[in-house]
Amino acid sequence: MTMTHYMSLLSDNQPWNLILFMAIPVILAETITVTEFFILFTRNLHGRLRAFNRICSIIAGLYFTGVFLYLFPGTFIPLTADGEWHTWVDVVAVSFYLAGVLFLLPLALLDLGVIGRKRTEEERLKLHFLLVSGFLVVAHVAMIFGMVNPEIVSGMPGMHH
């Protein structure tokens, strides 16, 4: 069975790639999401939980930016230049995974005070929630397409490798 490059990355060098490229970013994003719900429901915008949420957001954003900077030039560009993609599902899986940086980096910058300084605390909280939600959406799309066997798609009539 042929795997997407996304799934191949996660299954190589077990368990380290799975931990580094999947577990750490997703656990941080889910931690941010759960703490965000508590913050929203309690309206405690300045307590320990909000501080923990900010720390997780900054770590997640900076960490995933490092992942992006490692994988984009070292994997995405060579796969594209050499035409080594395993059908369009492979491109979708890897692209959506890497698109996580579009949500996690601004999340870190928001909590570092680099962006959104003129927004109210409530506006920043809304943006924070939208950014973490966006990351979870692209991460799950990447997971779903990453698990597809590209041979199924390439064997379909009208589909080209």
* Interval 10-52: pLDDT, tens: 999 889 999 999 999 999 999 999 999 999 899 888 899 999 9
Q: Name, in order, each residue with C-beta under 8 angstroms of 28's C-beta and a sequence gap of 6 or more.
A: 56, 59, 60, 63
* Ramachandran quadrant class, 43 (left: phi over 0; alpha: psi -120 to 50; beta: rest): left
| Rounded-to-integer distance, Cα 66 and Cα 60, Å | 10
Question: Helix, strand, coil proportions of the chain in percent (round to 5)?
Answer: 75, 0, 25
Mean pLDDT, residues 146-155: 84
pLDDT score of 160 more than 80: no
pTM of the full predicted structure? 0.90
